[in-house]
Amino acid sequence: MDTTEAILYWKTSANDAFDTSDKLFESKKFDHSLFFVHLSIEKILKALFIQIKQESPLFTHDLVRLAESCELIITEEQNFQLVEISTFNISARYDDYKLKFYKKATEAYSAQWRKTGKTLFDFFASKLP
């Protein structure tokens, strides 16, 4: 595996996912916007995993597990944030959770978690070349 190429792929894909989140938020598709916040953080963590481990990333959507596998030291607050953002993946994907998540993903809630997600995204991205 060419790690430089793989890292670039995941970084580019992560940035694209956050851009998609922006567009979905502007279109008032708040639940889908939050799903893409999760996806962008997952992808940036996978780029970081490749950089640190020099191997293919884990097959998981669990952001806490990905951060731990990157041997990152994160705060308790960041851990809580990753736990909450990880639920956006499940809630937006599975039918039995969708309606409940749709109601939870108000404009204010989504704006708050997009801001939190962007802070986490930037924190992880800053550790990449």
Q: What is the mean pLDDT of the chain?
A: 94
pTM: 0.94
Whose tokens are 């802070």? That residue is 119
82, 67 contact by CB (below 8 A): yes
Angle at CA 45, nearest 5°, toward 114 and 115? 10
**pLDDT computed for residue 129 by the predictor:** 87
Share of the chain above pLDDT 70, in %: 96
CA separation (Å) from 50 to 25, 45, 53?
Answer: 30, 9, 5
Q: Model confidence over 65-98: pLDDT tens digits?
A: 999 999 999 999 999 999 999 999 875 566 777 7
3, 86 contact by CB (below 8 A): no
**pLDDT computed for residue 96 by the predictor:** 73
Range name among 22-31, 88-97, 99-108 with the lowest pLDDT average: 88-97
Superfamily (CATH) of domain 3-125: Nucleotidyltransferases  domain 2 (1.20.120.330)
Share of the chain above pLDDT 90, in %: 85
